[in-house]
């Protein structure tokens, strides 16, 4: 788990440096039998958290059980917050700190940290302002007049795209239902990646050719620069004030064009995302990272849509691939009998119109729909794997551990 592991304490150091693993060795028992102390004496909650965690990136390292004692005490409210999210009637004491007062913390992150709606800015901010007001606190916003100078806003008509890209063969995601990279029939199903002339794809989007399937240009490996380099001059290779704010260039610049039936299922990314709509509209449903305890994850067998000779789709398992953690819930029509915790989540919704840019912070969950033929370009900047990432990893692991209680 991505949390700092304190080096082993030497004998001449202060007793206050004891790690969490030593808490259960303290002489005084818990005066109130709180759930965390009880679990420490019974089936160690901390070990459960470590067992439930997935392998983090190499740069993260460490584990929850190696936290310094003082840092663990600081994080106790997070433990209680997660437990309270699941309606566990628990109290906790600061036994390890030698305190007798009890703490019944509230789940305040969403109320204090996030707005009730996505704010709009009338102009792009300076690099310092953007980092200080939006990136650092991990808050989304919609920015107007940030791409008003792009030639693409006027030039990217169907006729222009046919002329510039034309018969070039590009990657198109094809599905029978519009859901690519989503849970279907107890599988994590990826789309058929069809190679086809771009003008044939435009014929389908413009309904000059009918098809029962759903087509979407959505390949996310910097496809704007890799497959559509002819269009880069109509936008920008990066967003200068964002690049200056973060001290880096984007990892990927992606081009999106598809039908209204194409839907992006609820998920999160490890990127600072600037999503720019060139034509049409995008409809975002967002959840802050603090909603993680209410959002279900399951492990699914990965599979891919394949087209049969008769034109129908079949789902073919990727038998050698590891299972994929994904969110099975549809936030537009959630099954609250199956996932009752989701009733406590508080999604934000916003519409991003042509000429507008959404700043979607790293680790925010998002579900996306669009108007028919919507065109967009987005910039993925790698996130910093700092304390925010560590806190999210902690919350994620505690959520998994609580489900085991």
CB 367 within 8 A of CB 265: yes
Question: What's the confidence (pLDDT) of residue 88?
Answer: 44
3-state secondary structure of 72: helix
Residue 199, both tokens: 């003008």
Q: What is the pTM of this model?
A: 0.78
Lowest mean pLDDT among 62-66, 115-119, 255-259: 62-66
Specify which of 32-41, 43-52, 236-245 reaches the highest per-range mean pLDDT. Answer: 236-245
Beta bridge partners of residue 196, listed in sequence order: 170
Beta bridge partners of residue 303, listed in sequence order: 189, 317
Q: Is 161 exposed, middle or buried (0-12, 13-18, 19+ CB in 10 A)?
A: buried
d(CA 397, CA 2): 10
Q: What average pLDDT does this structure show over 233-254? A: 98
Residue 2, both tokens: 């991505």
Question: What's the confidence (pLDDT) of residue 400?
Answer: 87
Q: What is the pLDDT of residues 54-93, one digit of tens each?
A: 444 333 333 444 444 455 555 555 555 554 544 444 444 4
Question: What's the confidence (pLDDT) of residue 75?
Answer: 56
Q: 187-190 and 192-197 as β-strands: parallel, antiparallel, unpaired?
A: unpaired
d(CA 64, CA 60): 12
CA 25 to chain centre: 39
d(CA 37, CA 186): 38
3-state secondary structure of 102: strand
3-state secondary structure of 270: coil
Using pLDDT thresholds of 50, 70 and 90, give the confidence band for residue 150.
very high
Q: Is 21 exposed, middle or buried (0-12, 13-18, 19+ CB in 10 A)?
A: middle
Residues 6+ apart with CB under 8 A from 163: none
Residues 6+ apart with CB under 8 A from 156: 231, 234, 278, 279, 375
Domains of the chain: 15-107 (no CATH), 112-384 (2.60.120.10)
| Ramachandran angles phi, psi of 4, nearest 5° | -55, 135
Using pLDDT thresholds of 50, 70 and 90, give the confidence band for residue 337.
very high
The count of C-alpha atoms lying within 13 angstroms of the C-alpha of 276, restricted to the half-sphere facing its C-beta, is 26
Question: What's the confidence (pLDDT) of residue 87?
Answer: 46
Residue 391, both tokens: 């806190």
d(CA 76, CA 182): 35
Among 17, 15, 37, 16, CA closest to 28: 37
CB 219 within 8 A of CB 181: no
Beta bridge partners of residue 316, listed in sequence order: 304
Task: Tell me: pLDDT of 116 over 50.
Answer: yes
CB 189 within 8 A of CB 182: yes
CA 214 to chain centre: 24
Q: What average pLDDT does this structure show over 132-157? A: 97
Note every long-range contact of 132-138, with CB atoms under 8 Å and residues 24 or more positions apart, other chains counting.
Answer: 134/359, 134/361, 135/245, 135/246, 135/272, 135/361, 137/113, 138/113, 138/288, 138/289, 138/361, 138/362, 138/363, 138/364, 138/388
3-state secondary structure of 193: strand
Q: What is the pLDDT of residues 351-404, one digit of tens each?
A: 999 999 999 999 999 999 999 999 999 999 999 999 989 989 988 998 888 877
């Amino acid at each position: 788990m991505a949390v700092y592991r304190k080096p082993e304490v030497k004998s001449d150091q202060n007793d206050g440096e004891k790690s969490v693993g030593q808490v259960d060795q303290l002489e005084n028992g818990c005066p109130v039998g709180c759930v965390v102390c009880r679990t420490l004496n019974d089936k160690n909650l901390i070990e459960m958290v470590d067992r439930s965690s997935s392998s983090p990136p190499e740069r993260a390292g460490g584990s929850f059980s190696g936290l310094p004692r003082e840092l663990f005490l600081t994080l106790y409210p997070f433990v209680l917050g997660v437990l309270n999210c699941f309606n566990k009637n628990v109290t906790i004491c600061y036994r390890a700190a030698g305190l007798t007062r009890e703490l019944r913390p509230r789940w305040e992150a969403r109320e204090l940290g996030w707005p009730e709606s996505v704010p709009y800015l009338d102009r792009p901010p300076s690099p310092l302002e953007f980092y200080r007001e939006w990136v650092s606190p991990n808050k989304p916003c919609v920015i107007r007049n940030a791409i008003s100078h792009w030639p693409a806003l006027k030039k990217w008509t169907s006729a222009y795209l046919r002329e510039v890209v034309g018969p070039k063969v590009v990657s198109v995601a094809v599905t029978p239902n519009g859901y690519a990279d989503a849970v279907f029939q107890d599988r994590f199903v990826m789309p058929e990646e069809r190679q086809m002339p771009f003008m044939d794809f435009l014929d389908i989007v413009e309904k000059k050719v009918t098809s029962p399937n759903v087509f979407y240009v959505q390949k996310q490996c910097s496809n704007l620069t890799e497959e559509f380099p002819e269009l880069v001059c109509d936008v920008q290779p990066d967003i200068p004030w964002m690049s200056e704010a973060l001290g880096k260039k984007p990892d990927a610049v992606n081009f999106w064009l598809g039908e209204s039936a194409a839907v992006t299922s609820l998920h999160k990314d490890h990127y600072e995302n600037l999503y720019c709509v060139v034509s049409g509209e995008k409809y975002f449903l967002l959840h802050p990272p603090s909603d993680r305890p209410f959002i279900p994850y399951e492990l699914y067998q990965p599979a891919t849509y394949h087209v049969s000779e008769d034109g129908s789709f079949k789902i073919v398992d990727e038998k050698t691939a590891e299972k994929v953690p994904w969110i099975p819930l549809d936030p537009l029509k959630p099954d609250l009998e199956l996932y009752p915790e989701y009733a406590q989540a508080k999604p934000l919704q916003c519409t991003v119109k042509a000429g507008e840019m959404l700043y979607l912070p790293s680790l925010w969950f998002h579900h996306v729909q669009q108007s028919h033929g919507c065109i967009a370009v987005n910039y993925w900047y790698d996130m910093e794997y700092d304390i925010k990432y560590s806190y999210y990893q902690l919350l994620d692991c505690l959520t998994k551990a609580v489900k085991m209680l």
